[in-house]
Amino acid sequence: MSTPDLRSIGLAALVAACTACTTSAANTRPPAPARIASFHDTGLPPLPGASGSPGDGGNYEALPRQLAPILDYLKCDTTRSSRVLVHRIPGLEGRTDYMVTDPAGYHYRYWLRTFAGTGGTTGYLVQLNGCPVRSTGMRALIARAGEPPEDVTVPILKAGGFPDAVAMQKYIRQGASELYAQVEQLDRVPTVRWVSEADPDQPLRRDARAFDRRAFVHGGFLLWAGDHFEVKQKVTLAQWHCGSKGYVPCKDDPFVELP
């Protein structure tokens, strides 16, 4: 796995930067179109550079019409491409989740993963790379029936559990990357993992977050929990498929709880 091209900063700095963010005043007021200002705030650790929709399969086809409203809300121009890479994934309550990128690879304009929820709720993870909006890192949004989407990136950052700025500098001095999002399993599970990757020629010093023979720093998991996102330090095997082809063995991953 290569070090990502898109870089984030220490998460303690992210939280500090986001404390100045404000939400819409009253429900009676219409939200500012796309709340563009929030997309210029630093968000969650970003996708790696070659971000296209992960996993096997997927088809190039027209953007599913269910996704056009959220991208329009985010001021992302969806008219430039007639065909985008689409993965369809079974979701909650018989609904369909989607993972879409336009186009796949380094030069994507937008990347989006939806999460069907209970009671008509839908979660979104999105990274915009110039459509013409550009986000700094990944953003998390939730839309409830009859309501405009709400950006919940700041509450996720404030939930904590990530390596703070001091800890990240310790890893970076050892040759590790900044945190980035592992999304390779998002076509199978509603889970993102944040990691920092060590220099292959310089394993990390042993500590509580180093795993896979000290090749990675564990930054936490972001899990869709039915109607909200949760930050977790450990998940079950059903929520993160270690041991599968292309992933580290479970025995080298203390953050995945085995049955």
Distance CA 131, CA 108 (A): 9
Residue 64: burial class (beta carbons within 10 Å; 0-12, 13-18, 19+): middle
Q: Count CB-CB contacts under 10 A for residue 225.
A: 13
Mean pLDDT value across residues 26-30 = 34
- Comparing 40-54, 128-142, 161-175, which segment has the lowest mean pLDDT? 40-54
pLDDT for res 14: 36
**Angle at the Cα of 168 from the Cα atoms of 163 and 169, rounded to 5 degrees:** 150
Q: Where are the alpha helices (DSSP H) in 107-164?
A: 153-158
Distance CA 214, CA 200 (A): 10
Mean pLDDT value across residues 82-108 = 90
> What whole-number percentage of the chain has pLDDT above 90?
52
How many Cα atoms sit within 13 Å of 85 on the Cβ side?
20
Tokens of 23: 């939400």
Mean pLDDT value across residues 21-38 = 35
pLDDT for res 22: 32
Residue 17 predicted with pLDDT over 70: no
Instruction: Evaluate whether 202 touches 193 at the Cβ level (below 8 Å).
Output: no
Residue 1 predicted with pLDDT over 70: no
Residues 153-197 have pLDDT tens digits of 999 988 888 888 899 999 999 999 999 998 888 888 999 999 999
Mean pLDDT value across residues 111-127 = 95
Residue 104 predicted with pLDDT over 90: no
